[in-house]
Amino acid sequence: MGEPIGRRFSVLKGHCSSRAIEIRTKVLPLLILQVIACAIVSFAAPPNPYPNELIRLRFYAKYMAPLRPNISDLKTVVRVMGSDEGLQLKDWRILPLYSCPDPTTTCPAANRLASIDVSPKHRVSMLGVKFSPAFKHSSGGVSEINVTCDVYKDDFGLEYWIYSADFASGKKGDLLEIVYGPNKQIEQKAKSSQ
């Protein structure tokens, strides 16, 4: 007549268990490898400390990482940029500025990185740019070239300086510079340690 129903069920049940074991032995090592790979990538590439960089003006990851103002020293700047004087790209200048013993000034050859300034070599209009609410608007000026600017700054230390009127060095709405400075938390720690 055939096999009893109970026996057929136990054979199928055994088959399912062996199939589940087979799947576990093939899939589990792959999952473990994927977790390890994700861990390595997260250690190798720390998150960008300037998450609000404008899409068409992203410089940190490619040219400055892992430099951090108020943390990185001159030796680290030279390792990353190849020089303590920054980079000259086709359309941009990237200039590291350093902390001086006098906290009211910056200079190009002291110990700690104070900020990294990125300035265009050619006109870059910012007239159509809408800054997110992460940026606070203020006014600023650069006395050396006698200009005033609209400054958009976020809490991570990123600043966009934009000409507020027409000047000999730039037109209203043009980008003067981008400043990658220390974020407020790091700045507070640096001040409290002095």
pLDDT, tens digit, for every residue of 96-144? 998 876 666 655 556 789 999 999 999 999 999 999 999 999 999 999 9
Are both 121 and 177 inside the same structural domain?
yes
Predicted local confidence at residue 47, as pLDDT:
86
- pLDDT tens string 22-61: 656 665 565 565 656 555 544 555 689 999 999 999 999 9
Please, where are the H alpha helices in 73-167?
A: 74-81
pLDDT at 80: 97
- Is there a domain that residue 50 lies in? no
- Domain of 17, in residue numbers: 1-45
- Strand-pairing partners, residue 98, are 107, 113
CB of 48 closer than 8 Å to CB of 60? yes
* Torsion sign over Cα 106, 108, 110, 111: positive
Q: Do 60 and 39 share a structural domain?
A: no
Is the pLDDT assigned to residue 189 strictly greater than 50?
yes
pLDDT for the residue numbered 9: 45
Cis peptide bond prior to 51, omega within 30° of 0: no
In a domain, 28, yes or no: yes
Residues 178 and 133 in one domain: yes
In a domain, residue 129? The reply is yes
Could you give the C-alpha distances from 47 to 13, 104, 189, in angstroms and in order? 48, 30, 20
173 pLDDT tier (thresholds 50, 70, 90): very high
Check residue 10 and give its pLDDT: 46
pLDDT value at residue 112: 87
Contact 118, 64 (CB under 8 A): no
**What is the average per-residue pLDDT within 56-80?**
95
> Is the pLDDT assigned to residue 72 strictly greater than 90?
yes
93 found inside a domain:
yes
Q: What is the pLDDT of residues 132-172, one digit of tens each?
A: 999 999 999 999 999 999 999 999 999 999 999 999 999 99
Count of domains observed in the chain? 2
Residue 121 is predicted with a pLDDT of: 97
As a whole number of angstroms, the distance between CA 44 and CA 31 comes to 20
- Residue 126 contacts residue 54 (beta carbons within 8 Å): no
- The dihedral region occupied by 64, where left means phi > 0, alpha psi between -120 and 50, and beta the remainder, is alpha
Same domain, 16 and 89: no
Do 179 and 111 share a structural domain?
yes
Shared-domain flag, residues 83 and 176: yes
Q: How confident is the model at residue 2 (pLDDT cuts 50, 70, 90)?
A: low
